[in-house]
Structure 1
Amino acid sequence: MNRIEQALQENQEALHSLVVFRRAANAIVKQEVETIKKHNLTVCQFGVLEALYNKGDLRIQDLIDKLLSTSGNMTVVIRNMIRDGYVVKVPDTKDRRSFLVGLTPLGRERIEAILPEHYENIGKIFSVISPEEQVILADILKNFKNLK
């Protein structure tokens, strides 16, 4: 048995799990994005609005960390959202080198109009498994949190 065959044999279940996980993730994302696109937002724009709505004003770096974005991409997203009137950027009084991003009344109105439908959509997506299975799934997935 060569090295490839041996590695394949030793990791068969892990490889199968990866394929199943990716297919499930792709199906979930595809379904989730429908609601966001219907409201003419990008996934990143929606993420910014949702984070600011739920967490309050945030530094750009905090948004990058929460949304797993790059600084270049986030800069463009924030600039476009300022242009569209959804967010404002103000100097952080605690750190003069940083800026805080916050919702405008229009941004708050926009996210409040979308969130009920978004939450219902997520509930529908995950209704294929029971609430107990959802807890188990979340616990299992947390095991991957500290991979390097």
Structure 2
Amino acid sequence: MDTYETLNEVLVKLFNDIMAIEEKAIIIDEFKDITNNDMHVIEAIGRDGSKSMSTVAKALSVTVGTLTIAINNLVKKGYVNRERSEKDRRVVLISLTEKGKRAFGHHRKFHEDMIEATIQGLDPEETEVLVHSLTNLKEFFRNYGK
């Protein structure tokens, strides 16, 4: 198998498996009431204080309306707090509850373990090449179809 075929096989298999594997790894009993997409909303909100709905929507590349649906569900399930800004009542701020922060930490740990497994056994130069290659791939996807 040549390099092209090997890379194609690895990337296709990786893309097909990654969401299913991540969901199995991060949606444990404590967080069984949310989806993988919910977990990514929680990740976009982050642990560090409140963010506006528009900021989180932009980070996720979704509309505020789409995010509102996800936030409504996460508020009902106890993962997210929602409040109006004191400075500008038109602005809705969202933050994680303690339960949301635990989910965030669990998700973060999965990603840390994934990165460790990826770079295990690589020397600094190999790691640099990997980062460069994956950055190129990210740019391809970001610009694809524009």
- TM-score norm. by structure 1 comes to 0.67
Deviation at 1:21, TM superposition (A): 4.3
Q: How many residues align?
A: 133
| Residue of structure 1 equivalent to 2:19 | 29
**Which aligned pairs between 1:93-108 and structure 2 lie closer than 5 A?**
93-108=86-101
Structure-1 separation of matches of 2:121 and 2:22:
16
Unaligned runs of 5+ in 1: 1-12
| Residue of structure 1 equivalent to 2:102 | 109
Deviation at 1:22, TM superposition (A): 4.3
Structure-2 separation of matches of 1:52 and 1:82:
13
Do the aligned partners of 2:43 and 2:104 also contact (CA within 8 Å) in 1? yes
Structure-1 separation of matches of 2:99 and 2:113:
22
Structure-2 separation of matches of 1:85 and 1:117:
22
TM-align CA RMSD: 3.1
- TM-score norm. by structure 2 comes to 0.68
**Which aligned pairs between 1:69-88 and structure 2 lie closer than 5 A?**
69-88=62-81
Amino acid corresponding to residue 74 of structure 2 in structure 1? M
Name which one, 1 or 2, has greater alpha-carbon Rg: 1
Change (3 A) 1:109 1:69: same
Structure-1 separation of matches of 2:107 and 2:52:
23
Deviation at 1:142, TM superposition (A): 4.3
| Counterpart selection for 2:134 from 134, 138, 141 | 138
**SS at structure 2 position matched to 1:143:** helix
Amino acid corresponding to residue 36 of structure 1 in structure 2? I
Change (3 A) 1:107 1:81: same
Among all aligned residue pairs of Structure 1 and Structure 2, give the percentage whose two residues are the same amino acid.
27
Structure-2 separation of matches of 1:53 and 1:61:
14
Change (3 A) 1:56 1:18: farther
Structure-1 separation of matches of 2:76 and 2:16:
31
